[in-house]
Amino acid sequence: MTRVLAGAEPQPRWMPRRILTVVSADLDITAGVGAVWMVSRPESARAREHTALLEWHDEQWRYVGGGIGPVDDSPSVDVFEIRGGGGALSLTRSLDPPHSIPAAPWITCTKIYLGRDVSHLLIGDRRVKTPEQRKLITVWTYPSGSRGARPTIVALDGEGAELSRIGPHDSLDTHTWAQLREEP
Protein backbone atom coordinates (compact mmCIF):
# COMPACT_ATOMS: atom_id res chain seq x y z
CA MET A 1 0.00 0.00 0.00
CA THR A 2 2.95 2.32 0.59
CA ARG A 3 3.72 2.07 -3.14
CA VAL A 4 0.18 3.24 -3.94
CA LEU A 5 0.49 6.10 -1.43
CA ALA A 6 3.69 7.20 -3.13
CA GLY A 7 1.97 7.24 -6.54
CA ALA A 8 4.02 4.28 -7.81
CA GLU A 9 2.80 1.18 -9.58
CA PRO A 10 1.49 -1.32 -7.02
CA GLN A 11 3.58 -4.17 -8.48
CA PRO A 12 7.16 -4.05 -7.07
CA ARG A 13 9.82 -4.38 -9.80
CA TRP A 14 11.72 -6.96 -7.77
CA MET A 15 8.65 -9.27 -7.52
CA PRO A 16 8.40 -11.53 -10.60
CA ARG A 17 4.87 -11.51 -12.03
CA ARG A 18 4.99 -15.31 -12.37
CA ILE A 19 5.06 -15.51 -8.54
CA LEU A 20 2.69 -12.68 -7.60
CA THR A 21 0.85 -10.14 -9.71
CA VAL A 22 -0.83 -7.09 -8.20
CA VAL A 23 -3.93 -6.72 -10.36
CA SER A 24 -5.24 -3.54 -8.76
CA ALA A 25 -5.08 -1.43 -5.61
CA ASP A 26 -7.43 1.27 -4.41
CA LEU A 27 -6.96 3.80 -1.69
CA ASP A 28 -9.60 6.14 -0.31
CA ILE A 29 -7.55 8.58 1.76
CA THR A 30 -10.64 10.46 2.94
CA ALA A 31 -12.18 7.30 4.43
CA GLY A 32 -8.81 5.89 5.51
CA VAL A 33 -9.29 2.55 3.79
CA GLY A 34 -7.61 0.59 1.02
CA ALA A 35 -7.90 -2.67 -0.90
CA VAL A 36 -5.40 -4.73 -2.87
CA TRP A 37 -6.24 -7.45 -5.43
CA MET A 38 -3.41 -9.91 -6.13
CA VAL A 39 -2.98 -13.21 -7.97
CA SER A 40 -0.38 -15.71 -6.79
CA ARG A 41 1.15 -18.02 -9.40
CA PRO A 42 -0.96 -16.43 -12.18
CA GLU A 43 0.19 -18.84 -14.89
CA SER A 44 -0.22 -21.99 -12.79
CA ALA A 45 -3.18 -24.34 -12.48
CA ARG A 46 -2.93 -23.57 -8.76
CA ALA A 47 -3.39 -19.80 -9.27
CA ARG A 48 -5.34 -18.05 -6.50
CA GLU A 49 -6.76 -14.55 -6.13
CA HIS A 50 -6.08 -12.71 -2.88
CA THR A 51 -7.95 -9.65 -1.65
CA ALA A 52 -6.69 -7.59 1.28
CA LEU A 53 -8.60 -4.84 3.08
CA LEU A 54 -6.56 -2.22 4.93
CA GLU A 55 -7.36 0.61 7.30
CA TRP A 56 -5.36 3.65 8.41
CA HIS A 57 -5.10 3.70 12.20
CA ASP A 58 -2.46 5.05 14.63
CA GLU A 59 -0.41 6.52 11.77
CA GLN A 60 -0.06 3.20 9.90
CA TRP A 61 -1.93 0.89 7.54
CA ARG A 62 -3.36 -2.21 9.22
CA TYR A 63 -4.72 -5.36 7.63
CA VAL A 64 -8.36 -5.87 8.68
CA GLY A 65 -9.45 -8.76 6.50
CA GLY A 66 -9.46 -10.33 3.10
CA GLY A 67 -10.01 -13.51 1.22
CA ILE A 68 -8.57 -16.11 -1.12
CA GLY A 69 -10.33 -17.86 -3.97
CA PRO A 70 -9.97 -19.26 -7.47
CA VAL A 71 -8.96 -16.97 -10.31
CA ASP A 72 -11.93 -15.55 -12.22
CA ASP A 73 -10.83 -15.34 -15.85
CA SER A 74 -13.87 -13.53 -17.14
CA PRO A 75 -14.65 -13.17 -20.81
CA SER A 76 -14.66 -9.70 -22.33
CA VAL A 77 -17.45 -7.44 -21.09
CA ASP A 78 -19.48 -4.82 -22.96
CA VAL A 79 -19.30 -1.97 -20.47
CA PHE A 80 -18.63 -3.22 -16.93
CA GLU A 81 -19.37 -6.12 -14.64
CA ILE A 82 -19.09 -6.28 -10.89
CA ARG A 83 -17.56 -9.58 -9.87
CA GLY A 84 -16.91 -10.60 -6.31
CA GLY A 85 -15.86 -8.57 -3.37
CA GLY A 86 -15.97 -8.68 0.37
CA GLY A 87 -16.02 -6.76 3.57
CA ALA A 88 -14.71 -6.56 7.10
CA LEU A 89 -15.64 -4.76 10.26
CA SER A 90 -13.35 -1.86 11.10
CA LEU A 91 -11.63 -3.52 14.02
CA THR A 92 -9.09 -0.77 14.62
CA ARG A 93 -11.80 1.83 15.10
CA SER A 94 -13.90 -0.48 17.25
CA LEU A 95 -11.03 -0.72 19.73
CA ASP A 96 -10.98 3.05 20.32
CA PRO A 97 -12.83 4.11 23.46
CA PRO A 98 -15.61 5.25 23.58
CA HIS A 99 -16.44 3.42 20.33
CA SER A 100 -17.74 -0.10 20.39
CA ILE A 101 -17.95 -2.91 17.88
CA PRO A 102 -21.63 -2.21 17.02
CA ALA A 103 -20.72 1.39 16.15
CA ALA A 104 -17.67 0.50 14.03
CA PRO A 105 -18.04 1.05 10.27
CA TRP A 106 -17.76 -1.67 7.63
CA ILE A 107 -15.03 -1.66 4.99
CA THR A 108 -16.18 -3.15 1.69
CA CYS A 109 -14.59 -3.79 -1.69
CA THR A 110 -15.66 -5.08 -5.07
CA LYS A 111 -13.86 -6.16 -8.24
CA ILE A 112 -14.90 -4.52 -11.51
CA TYR A 113 -14.18 -5.79 -15.05
CA LEU A 114 -14.30 -3.11 -17.75
CA GLY A 115 -15.14 -3.04 -21.46
CA ARG A 116 -12.95 -1.43 -24.13
CA ASP A 117 -14.97 1.78 -24.44
CA VAL A 118 -14.75 2.69 -20.74
CA SER A 119 -12.24 5.47 -20.11
CA HIS A 120 -13.17 6.41 -16.52
CA LEU A 121 -15.44 5.31 -13.72
CA LEU A 122 -17.21 7.53 -11.24
CA ILE A 123 -17.38 5.60 -7.97
CA GLY A 124 -19.47 7.72 -5.65
CA ASP A 125 -17.70 11.08 -5.78
CA ARG A 126 -14.33 9.64 -6.87
CA ARG A 127 -13.17 9.57 -10.50
CA VAL A 128 -11.01 6.55 -11.42
CA LYS A 129 -9.09 6.17 -14.69
CA THR A 130 -9.49 2.78 -16.36
CA PRO A 131 -6.35 0.69 -15.85
CA GLU A 132 -4.63 -0.95 -18.81
CA GLN A 133 -5.58 -4.49 -17.76
CA ARG A 134 -9.29 -3.44 -17.63
CA LYS A 135 -9.77 -4.77 -14.10
CA LEU A 136 -9.86 -2.86 -10.84
CA ILE A 137 -10.79 -3.10 -7.21
CA THR A 138 -12.58 -0.34 -5.35
CA VAL A 139 -13.09 0.17 -1.62
CA TRP A 140 -15.46 2.23 0.52
CA THR A 141 -16.93 2.35 4.02
CA TYR A 142 -20.45 2.49 5.33
CA PRO A 143 -21.84 2.94 8.84
CA SER A 144 -22.62 -0.10 10.95
CA GLY A 145 -26.33 -0.83 10.95
CA SER A 146 -26.96 0.51 7.44
CA ARG A 147 -27.85 -1.72 4.51
CA GLY A 148 -24.28 -1.77 3.20
CA ALA A 149 -24.97 -0.07 -0.09
CA ARG A 150 -22.12 0.40 -2.51
CA PRO A 151 -21.69 3.83 -4.07
CA THR A 152 -23.26 4.53 -7.45
CA ILE A 153 -20.85 3.44 -10.20
CA VAL A 154 -20.95 5.22 -13.57
CA ALA A 155 -18.91 4.19 -16.63
CA LEU A 156 -17.78 7.03 -18.91
CA ASP A 157 -16.25 6.98 -22.39
CA GLY A 158 -13.31 9.11 -23.55
CA GLU A 159 -15.61 12.07 -24.26
CA GLY A 160 -17.13 11.93 -20.78
CA ALA A 161 -20.46 10.51 -21.98
CA GLU A 162 -22.21 8.05 -19.69
CA LEU A 163 -22.14 4.46 -20.99
CA SER A 164 -23.86 2.78 -18.05
CA ARG A 165 -24.53 3.10 -14.33
CA ILE A 166 -25.43 0.88 -11.42
CA GLY A 167 -27.06 2.20 -8.30
CA PRO A 168 -26.36 1.26 -4.69
CA HIS A 169 -28.96 -1.51 -4.51
CA ASP A 170 -29.18 -2.48 -8.21
CA SER A 171 -28.27 -5.95 -9.40
CA LEU A 172 -27.75 -4.96 -13.07
CA ASP A 173 -26.39 -1.84 -14.73
CA THR A 174 -28.43 0.31 -17.14
CA HIS A 175 -26.60 -1.00 -20.25
CA THR A 176 -27.45 -4.62 -19.36
CA TRP A 177 -31.08 -3.70 -18.64
CA ALA A 178 -31.32 -2.01 -22.06
CA GLN A 179 -29.96 -5.14 -23.76
CA LEU A 180 -32.45 -7.36 -21.92
CA ARG A 181 -35.36 -5.12 -23.01
CA GLU A 182 -34.26 -5.43 -26.66
CA GLU A 183 -34.27 -9.24 -26.63
CA PRO A 184 -37.50 -10.83 -27.91
Q: Mean pLDDT across the stretch 94-121? A: 82
DSSP reduced 3-state for 129 = strand
CB 94 within 8 A of CB 106: no
Q: What is the pLDDT of residue 31?
A: 87
CB 121 within 8 A of CB 134: no
Instruction: Determine the Cα–Cα distance for residues 161 and 91; give it in Å rounded to an integer.
Output: 40
Q: What is the pLDDT of residue 155?
A: 96
- Reference 141, options 43, 64, 59; nearest CA is 64
Confidence of residue 7 (pLDDT cuts 50, 70, 90): low
Model-level pTM?
0.83
> Cα dist. 148→10, 45, 106, 122 in Å?
28, 35, 8, 19
Query: pLDDT digit string (tens) for 59-103?
Result: 888 889 888 888 877 668 889 998 888 888 887 666 666 656 667
- Reference 1, options 20, 26, 30, 23; nearest CA is 26
- Reference 153, options 105, 81, 87, 74; nearest CA is 81
Secondary structure element (H or E) that encloses residue 94, with its range:
helix 91-94
High-pLDDT (> 90) share of the chain, %:
33
The yes-or-no verdict on residue 1 having pLDDT over 70 is no
Report strand pairing: 60-70 vs 48-57.
Answer: antiparallel
Instruction: Determine the Cα–Cα distance for residues 28 and 63; give it in Å rounded to an integer.
Output: 15
